[in-house]
Structure 1
Amino acid sequence: MSEEFPPYNFELNGRLQGISIDLMVLCLDKLGSRQTRQDIRILPWARSYKMLLEEEKTVLFAITRTPQRENLFKWVGPISSSKNVLFARKNSLISLSSPDDIKKYRTGAIRDDAGEQLLQDLFGLDREGIELTSSALSSLLQLKTGRIDLFAYDENVLHWIMTQEGLNPEDFESVYVLSEGFHYFGFHRDTDDELIEQFQKALDDLKDEGLYDIVLKRYQ
Protein backbone atom coordinates (compact mmCIF):
# COMPACT_ATOMS: atom_id res chain seq x y z
CA MET A 1 0.00 0.00 0.00
CA SER A 2 1.05 3.55 -0.63
CA GLU A 3 -0.43 7.06 -0.73
CA GLU A 4 -0.16 10.30 -2.70
CA PHE A 5 3.18 11.48 -1.30
CA PRO A 6 5.23 12.89 -4.18
CA PRO A 7 8.02 12.55 -5.17
CA TYR A 8 8.16 9.29 -3.19
CA ASN A 9 4.84 7.73 -4.23
CA PHE A 10 2.09 9.11 -6.46
CA GLU A 11 -0.08 8.41 -9.48
CA LEU A 12 0.39 10.27 -12.75
CA ASN A 13 -1.48 9.54 -15.98
CA GLY A 14 -2.77 6.29 -14.52
CA ARG A 15 0.69 4.99 -13.60
CA LEU A 16 2.06 4.56 -10.08
CA GLN A 17 5.50 6.08 -9.76
CA GLY A 18 7.89 7.79 -7.39
CA ILE A 19 11.09 6.96 -5.56
CA SER A 20 9.64 4.42 -3.13
CA ILE A 21 7.33 2.86 -5.76
CA ASP A 22 10.23 2.27 -8.15
CA LEU A 23 12.42 0.89 -5.38
CA MET A 24 9.69 -1.50 -4.21
CA VAL A 25 9.22 -2.77 -7.78
CA LEU A 26 12.96 -3.34 -8.12
CA CYS A 27 13.10 -5.16 -4.78
CA LEU A 28 10.20 -7.41 -5.78
CA ASP A 29 11.96 -8.19 -9.02
CA LYS A 30 15.20 -9.05 -7.20
CA LEU A 31 13.30 -11.38 -4.88
CA GLY A 32 11.65 -13.15 -7.82
CA SER A 33 8.19 -12.13 -6.67
CA ARG A 34 5.13 -12.46 -8.88
CA GLN A 35 3.89 -9.14 -7.53
CA THR A 36 4.43 -6.06 -9.70
CA ARG A 37 3.67 -2.35 -9.82
CA GLN A 38 0.03 -3.27 -10.56
CA ASP A 39 -0.33 -4.89 -7.13
CA ILE A 40 0.42 -1.65 -5.27
CA ARG A 41 -2.68 0.17 -4.02
CA ILE A 42 -2.89 3.94 -3.48
CA LEU A 43 -5.11 4.55 -0.43
CA PRO A 44 -5.86 7.40 1.98
CA TRP A 45 -3.14 7.46 4.63
CA ALA A 46 -5.34 6.85 7.68
CA ARG A 47 -6.97 3.82 6.05
CA SER A 48 -3.69 2.21 4.98
CA TYR A 49 -2.05 2.96 8.34
CA LYS A 50 -4.93 1.20 10.13
CA MET A 51 -4.60 -1.77 7.76
CA LEU A 52 -0.86 -2.00 8.46
CA LEU A 53 -1.58 -2.12 12.17
CA GLU A 54 -4.32 -4.75 11.92
CA GLU A 55 -3.78 -6.92 8.84
CA GLU A 56 -1.00 -9.47 8.34
CA LYS A 57 0.98 -9.61 5.09
CA THR A 58 0.76 -5.86 4.51
CA VAL A 59 3.45 -3.29 3.80
CA LEU A 60 3.03 0.49 3.67
CA PHE A 61 5.43 3.00 2.15
CA ALA A 62 6.93 5.48 2.36
CA ILE A 63 6.49 5.79 6.13
CA THR A 64 8.61 7.88 8.48
CA ARG A 65 10.35 5.79 11.12
CA THR A 66 9.78 7.48 14.47
CA PRO A 67 10.27 6.41 18.11
CA GLN A 68 6.48 6.31 18.50
CA ARG A 69 6.18 3.78 15.65
CA GLU A 70 9.37 1.79 16.26
CA ASN A 71 7.78 -1.28 17.85
CA LEU A 72 4.52 -1.13 15.89
CA PHE A 73 6.05 -2.34 12.63
CA LYS A 74 9.09 -3.97 11.08
CA TRP A 75 11.33 -1.82 8.92
CA VAL A 76 13.27 -2.00 5.65
CA GLY A 77 15.30 1.02 4.60
CA PRO A 78 16.09 3.77 4.70
CA ILE A 79 14.50 4.83 1.42
CA SER A 80 15.13 8.57 1.76
CA SER A 81 15.53 11.34 4.31
CA SER A 82 12.55 13.05 5.91
CA LYS A 83 12.09 16.42 7.57
CA ASN A 84 8.78 17.14 9.27
CA VAL A 85 8.20 20.82 9.90
CA LEU A 86 5.52 23.35 10.72
CA PHE A 87 4.62 25.48 7.69
CA ALA A 88 3.04 28.92 7.87
CA ARG A 89 2.07 31.61 5.39
CA LYS A 90 5.04 33.91 5.12
CA ASN A 91 2.89 37.01 5.56
CA SER A 92 1.58 35.69 8.89
CA LEU A 93 4.99 36.45 10.46
CA ILE A 94 4.59 33.54 12.89
CA SER A 95 7.58 32.86 15.12
CA LEU A 96 7.71 29.96 17.57
CA SER A 97 10.24 30.31 20.38
CA SER A 98 8.84 27.65 22.72
CA PRO A 99 6.44 24.69 22.53
CA ASP A 100 3.77 26.69 24.34
CA ASP A 101 3.65 29.20 21.48
CA ILE A 102 1.92 26.74 19.18
CA LYS A 103 -1.19 26.75 21.36
CA LYS A 104 -1.87 30.30 20.18
CA TYR A 105 -2.47 29.09 16.64
CA ARG A 106 -4.82 26.84 14.66
CA THR A 107 -2.73 23.89 13.56
CA GLY A 108 -3.49 21.25 10.94
CA ALA A 109 -2.17 17.79 10.06
CA ILE A 110 -3.12 14.64 8.16
CA ARG A 111 -4.95 12.02 10.20
CA ASP A 112 -2.50 9.41 11.62
CA ASP A 113 0.42 11.02 9.81
CA ALA A 114 3.77 11.56 11.56
CA GLY A 115 2.92 15.26 11.77
CA GLU A 116 -0.15 14.61 13.91
CA GLN A 117 1.75 12.21 16.17
CA LEU A 118 4.60 14.69 16.60
CA LEU A 119 2.19 17.49 17.48
CA GLN A 120 0.75 15.35 20.23
CA ASP A 121 4.10 14.16 21.57
CA LEU A 122 6.13 17.37 21.28
CA PHE A 123 3.47 19.94 22.03
CA GLY A 124 0.97 17.97 24.06
CA LEU A 125 -1.88 18.80 21.70
CA ASP A 126 -5.03 16.70 21.93
CA ARG A 127 -6.36 15.24 18.70
CA GLU A 128 -9.46 17.40 19.10
CA GLY A 129 -7.20 20.46 19.05
CA ILE A 130 -5.71 19.61 15.64
CA GLU A 131 -7.51 20.32 12.36
CA LEU A 132 -7.22 16.92 10.69
CA THR A 133 -7.72 16.15 6.99
CA SER A 134 -7.22 13.14 4.75
CA SER A 135 -4.76 14.75 2.30
CA ALA A 136 -1.86 17.18 2.21
CA LEU A 137 -3.54 19.26 -0.50
CA SER A 138 -6.63 19.78 1.67
CA SER A 139 -4.50 21.00 4.58
CA LEU A 140 -2.37 23.15 2.29
CA LEU A 141 -5.46 24.87 0.90
CA GLN A 142 -6.68 25.46 4.46
CA LEU A 143 -3.34 27.07 5.20
CA LYS A 144 -3.49 29.21 2.07
CA THR A 145 -6.98 30.50 2.84
CA GLY A 146 -6.27 31.14 6.52
CA ARG A 147 -8.48 28.40 7.98
CA ILE A 148 -5.38 27.15 9.79
CA ASP A 149 -2.21 29.01 10.75
CA LEU A 150 0.24 26.08 10.78
CA PHE A 151 0.50 22.78 8.94
CA ALA A 152 2.67 19.88 10.13
CA TYR A 153 4.08 17.89 7.21
CA ASP A 154 7.12 16.68 5.31
CA GLU A 155 9.02 19.64 3.85
CA ASN A 156 10.17 18.06 0.57
CA VAL A 157 6.74 16.65 -0.23
CA LEU A 158 4.95 19.92 0.46
CA HIS A 159 7.28 21.84 -1.86
CA TRP A 160 6.56 19.29 -4.60
CA ILE A 161 2.79 19.59 -4.09
CA MET A 162 2.95 23.40 -4.16
CA THR A 163 4.76 23.34 -7.49
CA GLN A 164 2.37 20.77 -9.00
CA GLU A 165 -0.70 22.71 -7.86
CA GLY A 166 0.54 26.07 -9.12
CA LEU A 167 1.15 27.56 -5.68
CA ASN A 168 4.19 29.72 -5.02
CA PRO A 169 6.48 28.09 -2.43
CA GLU A 170 7.79 31.58 -1.65
CA ASP A 171 4.40 32.39 -0.08
CA PHE A 172 5.07 29.85 2.68
CA GLU A 173 7.88 29.14 5.11
CA SER A 174 9.01 26.58 7.65
CA VAL A 175 8.81 28.05 11.15
CA TYR A 176 9.68 25.01 13.27
CA VAL A 177 11.42 21.67 12.69
CA LEU A 178 9.45 18.85 14.33
CA SER A 179 11.82 16.01 13.47
CA GLU A 180 14.44 14.85 11.00
CA GLY A 181 14.77 11.20 10.08
CA PHE A 182 14.18 8.73 7.28
CA HIS A 183 11.43 7.12 5.23
CA TYR A 184 11.17 3.32 5.24
CA PHE A 185 9.10 0.44 3.98
CA GLY A 186 6.91 -0.43 6.98
CA PHE A 187 5.83 -4.09 7.31
CA HIS A 188 3.18 -5.57 9.59
CA ARG A 189 4.73 -6.46 12.94
CA ASP A 190 4.19 -10.21 12.44
CA THR A 191 6.08 -10.37 9.14
CA ASP A 192 8.65 -13.17 9.15
CA ASP A 193 12.13 -11.88 10.03
CA GLU A 194 13.65 -13.85 7.16
CA LEU A 195 11.49 -11.96 4.66
CA ILE A 196 12.51 -8.65 6.23
CA GLU A 197 16.15 -9.64 5.86
CA GLN A 198 15.60 -10.59 2.22
CA PHE A 199 13.95 -7.25 1.45
CA GLN A 200 16.71 -5.37 3.26
CA LYS A 201 19.40 -7.18 1.29
CA ALA A 202 17.57 -6.47 -1.97
CA LEU A 203 17.44 -2.75 -1.15
CA ASP A 204 21.09 -2.72 -0.04
CA ASP A 205 22.07 -4.43 -3.29
CA LEU A 206 20.24 -1.75 -5.28
CA LYS A 207 22.31 0.88 -3.49
CA ASP A 208 25.57 -1.01 -4.07
CA GLU A 209 24.79 -1.47 -7.76
CA GLY A 210 24.01 2.21 -8.32
CA LEU A 211 20.36 1.59 -9.23
CA TYR A 212 19.20 3.46 -6.12
CA ASP A 213 20.94 6.64 -7.28
CA ILE A 214 19.44 6.26 -10.75
CA VAL A 215 15.94 6.13 -9.21
CA LEU A 216 16.60 9.25 -7.12
CA LYS A 217 17.76 11.22 -10.17
CA ARG A 218 14.50 10.44 -12.01
CA TYR A 219 12.60 12.66 -9.56
CA GLN A 220 15.01 15.55 -9.02
Structure 2
Amino acid sequence: MPLRLSTWIVLLLTLVGSHGHAQGIEVVTEETTYGYLRDGRVVGPASAVVEATLQRAGLNDYHMAVYPWARAYDMALQQPNVLIYLIARNPAREPLFHWVGEVLRVEYHLYRLRGQEHIQVHSLADAKRYRIGVQRGDVRQQYLKGQGFTKLVVSAHERENFRRLLNHQVQLMPLPERDAAKLCAEAGIDPARLERVFTLDDLATGLYMAYSRSTAEELVARSRAAFASLEGEGLVSRMMMDAP
Protein backbone atom coordinates (compact mmCIF):
# COMPACT_ATOMS: atom_id res chain seq x y z
CA MET A 1 0.00 0.00 0.00
CA PRO A 2 1.55 3.35 -1.03
CA LEU A 3 2.45 5.80 1.71
CA ARG A 4 0.44 8.97 2.05
CA LEU A 5 2.10 12.26 1.14
CA SER A 6 1.99 13.38 4.79
CA THR A 7 3.83 10.24 5.82
CA TRP A 8 6.55 10.90 3.23
CA ILE A 9 6.95 14.44 4.60
CA VAL A 10 7.35 13.14 8.15
CA LEU A 11 9.95 10.61 7.01
CA LEU A 12 11.83 13.28 5.07
CA LEU A 13 11.90 15.62 8.06
CA THR A 14 13.11 12.78 10.24
CA LEU A 15 15.95 12.04 7.84
CA VAL A 16 16.90 15.69 7.64
CA GLY A 17 16.89 15.94 11.42
CA SER A 18 19.21 12.94 11.71
CA HIS A 19 21.98 14.63 9.71
CA GLY A 20 23.60 17.58 11.47
CA HIS A 21 24.63 19.38 8.30
CA ALA A 22 21.08 19.32 6.95
CA GLN A 23 19.86 21.22 10.00
CA GLY A 24 22.58 23.86 9.73
CA ILE A 25 25.13 24.91 12.32
CA GLU A 26 24.56 27.59 14.94
CA VAL A 27 27.90 29.29 15.59
CA VAL A 28 27.99 31.20 18.88
CA THR A 29 30.49 33.38 20.67
CA GLU A 30 30.70 36.26 23.12
CA GLU A 31 31.96 39.74 22.26
CA THR A 32 35.74 39.96 22.49
CA THR A 33 38.54 41.47 20.43
CA TYR A 34 38.55 38.17 18.52
CA GLY A 35 34.84 38.05 17.67
CA TYR A 36 32.36 40.92 17.61
CA LEU A 37 29.52 42.51 15.69
CA ARG A 38 30.16 45.05 12.97
CA ASP A 39 27.30 46.32 10.80
CA GLY A 40 25.18 43.37 11.87
CA ARG A 41 27.81 40.76 11.00
CA VAL A 42 30.04 38.71 13.30
CA VAL A 43 33.64 39.53 12.42
CA GLY A 44 37.08 39.43 14.05
CA PRO A 45 40.13 37.19 13.63
CA ALA A 46 38.72 34.17 15.48
CA SER A 47 35.48 34.50 13.54
CA ALA A 48 37.52 34.43 10.34
CA VAL A 49 39.21 31.20 11.49
CA VAL A 50 35.81 29.63 12.21
CA GLU A 51 34.36 30.64 8.85
CA ALA A 52 37.45 29.46 6.98
CA THR A 53 37.23 26.10 8.78
CA LEU A 54 33.56 25.59 7.95
CA GLN A 55 34.00 26.64 4.35
CA ARG A 56 36.98 24.35 3.83
CA ALA A 57 34.92 21.54 5.39
CA GLY A 58 32.15 22.25 2.89
CA LEU A 59 29.76 23.17 5.69
CA ASN A 60 28.21 26.31 4.29
CA ASP A 61 24.86 26.16 6.07
CA TYR A 62 25.66 28.04 9.27
CA HIS A 63 24.57 31.11 11.21
CA MET A 64 26.87 33.15 13.47
CA ALA A 65 25.66 35.11 16.50
CA VAL A 66 27.06 36.96 19.53
CA TYR A 67 25.50 36.29 22.95
CA PRO A 68 26.38 36.79 26.60
CA TRP A 69 28.79 33.98 27.44
CA ALA A 70 26.44 32.12 29.78
CA ARG A 71 23.78 31.89 27.07
CA ALA A 72 26.23 30.81 24.38
CA TYR A 73 27.67 28.18 26.71
CA ASP A 74 24.22 26.87 27.65
CA MET A 75 23.27 26.56 23.97
CA ALA A 76 26.42 24.54 23.34
CA LEU A 77 25.61 22.29 26.29
CA GLN A 78 21.95 21.70 25.45
CA GLN A 79 21.47 21.87 21.68
CA PRO A 80 22.79 19.82 18.75
CA ASN A 81 24.87 21.35 15.95
CA VAL A 82 26.15 24.27 18.00
CA LEU A 83 29.74 25.40 17.43
CA ILE A 84 31.08 27.62 20.22
CA TYR A 85 34.27 29.71 20.24
CA LEU A 86 36.50 30.77 21.94
CA ILE A 87 36.11 28.28 24.79
CA ALA A 88 38.76 27.32 27.32
CA ARG A 89 39.50 23.62 27.49
CA ASN A 90 39.92 22.07 30.93
CA PRO A 91 39.36 18.65 32.55
CA ALA A 92 35.84 19.51 33.72
CA ARG A 93 34.74 20.53 30.22
CA GLU A 94 36.60 17.79 28.36
CA PRO A 95 33.70 15.30 28.14
CA LEU A 96 31.05 17.97 27.49
CA PHE A 97 32.09 18.96 23.97
CA HIS A 98 33.66 17.75 20.74
CA TRP A 99 36.90 19.74 20.54
CA VAL A 100 37.81 20.89 17.03
CA GLY A 101 41.04 22.84 17.38
CA GLU A 102 43.00 25.33 19.46
CA VAL A 103 42.69 28.82 18.00
CA LEU A 104 45.04 30.57 20.46
CA ARG A 105 46.53 30.36 23.94
CA VAL A 106 45.77 32.88 26.65
CA GLU A 107 46.99 33.91 30.10
CA TYR A 108 44.79 35.55 32.74
CA HIS A 109 46.07 38.21 35.12
CA LEU A 110 44.46 39.87 38.12
CA TYR A 111 44.24 43.64 37.64
CA ARG A 112 43.61 46.42 40.14
CA LEU A 113 43.24 50.15 39.63
CA ARG A 114 46.52 52.01 39.88
CA GLY A 115 46.82 53.79 43.19
CA GLN A 116 45.15 50.96 45.13
CA GLU A 117 48.37 49.86 46.81
CA HIS A 118 46.46 48.51 49.78
CA ILE A 119 45.33 45.66 47.47
CA GLN A 120 48.28 43.28 47.74
CA VAL A 121 48.25 39.92 45.96
CA HIS A 122 51.35 37.78 46.22
CA SER A 123 49.55 34.45 46.11
CA LEU A 124 46.20 32.97 45.19
CA ALA A 125 45.30 32.89 48.88
CA ASP A 126 45.91 36.64 49.13
CA ALA A 127 43.36 37.28 46.37
CA LYS A 128 40.59 35.64 48.40
CA ARG A 129 40.44 38.74 50.61
CA TYR A 130 39.12 40.92 47.79
CA ARG A 131 35.94 41.33 45.73
CA ILE A 132 36.63 39.98 42.25
CA GLY A 133 34.47 40.65 39.19
CA VAL A 134 33.88 37.60 37.01
CA GLN A 135 31.65 36.68 34.10
CA ARG A 136 28.82 34.19 34.61
CA GLY A 137 29.67 30.71 33.32
CA ASP A 138 33.22 31.69 32.39
CA VAL A 139 36.19 29.47 33.15
CA ARG A 140 37.53 32.17 35.51
CA GLN A 141 34.39 32.04 37.64
CA GLN A 142 34.49 28.24 37.67
CA TYR A 143 38.17 28.12 38.59
CA LEU A 144 38.03 30.71 41.39
CA LYS A 145 34.87 29.21 42.85
CA GLY A 146 36.54 25.81 42.81
CA GLN A 147 39.49 27.32 44.69
CA GLY A 148 37.19 28.44 47.49
CA PHE A 149 36.72 32.11 46.56
CA THR A 150 33.61 33.53 48.26
CA LYS A 151 33.73 37.22 47.23
CA LEU A 152 33.04 36.77 43.53
CA VAL A 153 30.82 39.42 41.94
CA VAL A 154 29.17 37.80 38.91
CA SER A 155 27.92 39.67 35.84
CA ALA A 156 26.64 38.67 32.41
CA HIS A 157 29.12 40.92 30.59
CA GLU A 158 32.76 41.82 31.11
CA ARG A 159 31.93 45.50 30.69
CA GLU A 160 29.67 45.41 33.77
CA ASN A 161 32.54 44.14 35.88
CA PHE A 162 34.87 46.73 34.42
CA ARG A 163 32.47 49.52 35.38
CA ARG A 164 32.35 48.04 38.87
CA LEU A 165 36.15 48.07 39.00
CA LEU A 166 36.25 51.73 37.98
CA ASN A 167 33.59 52.52 40.60
CA HIS A 168 35.46 50.56 43.31
CA GLN A 169 32.59 48.07 43.63
CA VAL A 170 35.05 45.28 42.88
CA GLN A 171 38.74 45.39 43.65
CA LEU A 172 40.17 42.93 41.15
CA MET A 173 39.37 41.53 37.70
CA PRO A 174 40.95 38.51 35.97
CA LEU A 175 41.64 39.47 32.36
CA PRO A 176 43.89 38.62 29.43
CA GLU A 177 46.15 41.55 28.61
CA ARG A 178 44.40 42.18 25.28
CA ASP A 179 40.95 42.31 26.89
CA ALA A 180 42.20 44.74 29.54
CA ALA A 181 43.45 47.07 26.81
CA LYS A 182 40.16 46.76 24.90
CA LEU A 183 38.03 47.60 27.95
CA CYS A 184 40.17 50.66 28.64
CA ALA A 185 39.85 51.81 25.03
CA GLU A 186 36.08 51.39 25.09
CA ALA A 187 35.83 53.35 28.34
CA GLY A 188 38.13 56.06 27.01
CA ILE A 189 40.66 55.70 29.79
CA ASP A 190 44.43 55.34 29.82
CA PRO A 191 45.44 51.65 30.07
CA ALA A 192 48.04 52.77 32.60
CA ARG A 193 45.16 53.14 35.09
CA LEU A 194 45.16 49.34 35.34
CA GLU A 195 47.89 47.51 37.18
CA ARG A 196 48.64 43.81 36.91
CA VAL A 197 49.20 42.31 40.34
CA PHE A 198 49.11 38.54 39.87
CA THR A 199 49.09 35.93 37.10
CA LEU A 200 46.72 32.97 37.38
CA ASP A 201 49.23 30.42 36.09
CA ASP A 202 46.86 27.46 36.50
CA LEU A 203 44.40 29.16 34.13
CA ALA A 204 46.81 29.54 31.22
CA THR A 205 44.99 27.58 28.57
CA GLY A 206 44.11 27.09 24.95
CA LEU A 207 40.95 28.67 23.58
CA TYR A 208 39.16 26.37 21.17
CA MET A 209 36.39 25.86 18.69
CA ALA A 210 34.13 23.10 20.01
CA TYR A 211 30.85 21.44 19.04
CA SER A 212 28.00 20.52 21.34
CA ARG A 213 28.16 16.88 22.38
CA SER A 214 25.00 15.91 20.48
CA THR A 215 26.37 17.18 17.16
CA ALA A 216 26.67 14.65 14.34
CA GLU A 217 30.08 12.94 14.20
CA GLU A 218 30.34 13.71 10.50
CA LEU A 219 30.28 17.45 11.18
CA VAL A 220 32.91 17.12 13.87
CA ALA A 221 35.24 14.99 11.75
CA ARG A 222 35.00 17.27 8.73
CA SER A 223 35.60 20.35 10.84
CA ARG A 224 38.61 18.82 12.59
CA ALA A 225 40.17 17.84 9.28
CA ALA A 226 39.56 21.30 7.82
CA PHE A 227 41.02 23.05 10.87
CA ALA A 228 44.09 20.80 10.84
CA SER A 229 44.56 21.63 7.18
CA LEU A 230 44.38 25.39 7.82
CA GLU A 231 46.69 25.08 10.80
CA GLY A 232 49.20 23.04 8.79
CA GLU A 233 49.33 25.81 6.19
CA GLY A 234 49.96 28.43 8.86
CA LEU A 235 46.67 30.17 8.11
CA VAL A 236 45.24 29.99 11.63
CA SER A 237 48.15 31.86 13.21
CA ARG A 238 48.21 34.30 10.29
CA MET A 239 44.52 35.15 10.71
CA MET A 240 44.91 35.54 14.47
CA MET A 241 47.75 38.00 13.95
CA ASP A 242 45.16 40.35 12.44
CA ALA A 243 43.64 40.85 15.92
CA PRO A 244 43.51 44.55 16.83
Q: TM-score, normalised by structure 1?
A: 0.89
More off after superposition, 95-104 vs 111-120? 95-104
1:170 matched to 2:197? no
* Counterpart position of 1:110: 135
Of 181, 186, 189, 1:159 maps to: 181
Query: Do the aligned partners of 1:78 and 1:184 also contact (CA within 8 Å) in 2?
Result: yes
Of 8, 12, 19, 2:45 maps to: 19
1:3 matched to 2:30? yes
* Counterpart position of 2:97: 73
Q: How far does residue 120 in structure 1 lie from its aligned partner after superposition? A: 1.0
AA in 2 matched with 1:191: T
1:218 is paired with a residue whose SS is: coil
Equivalent-residue separation in structure 1 for 2:132 and 2:238 (angstroms) = 37
AA in 2 matched with 1:99: L
Q: How far does residue 194 in structure 1 lie from its aligned partner after superposition? A: 4.1
Larger radius of gyration: 2
1:145 matched to 2:170? no
Q: How far does residue 108 in structure 1 lie from its aligned partner after superposition? A: 1.0
* Counterpart position of 1:201: 225
Equivalent-residue separation in structure 2 for 1:47 and 1:28 (angstroms) = 22
How many residues are paired up?
214
* Counterpart position of 2:57: 31
Q: Which runs of 4+ in 1 moved over 4 A?
A: none
Q: TM-score, normalised by structure 2?
A: 0.81
Structure 1 residue ranges without an equivalent (≥5): none
Query: Do the aligned partners of 1:136 and 1:158 also contact (CA within 8 Å) in 2?
Result: no
What is the root-mean-square deviation of aligned Cα atoms in Å? 1.8
Q: How far does residue 190 in structure 1 lie from its aligned partner after superposition? A: 2.7
Query: Do the aligned partners of 2:100 and 2:223 also contact (CA within 8 Å) in 1?
Result: yes
Query: Do the aligned partners of 1:83 and 1:156 also contact (CA within 8 Å) in 2?
Result: no
1:121 matched to 2:146? yes
Q: How far does residue 70 in structure 1 lie from its aligned partner after superposition? A: 1.6
Q: How far does residue 26 in structure 1 lie from its aligned partner after superposition? A: 0.6
Structure 2 residue ranges without an equivalent (≥5): 1-27
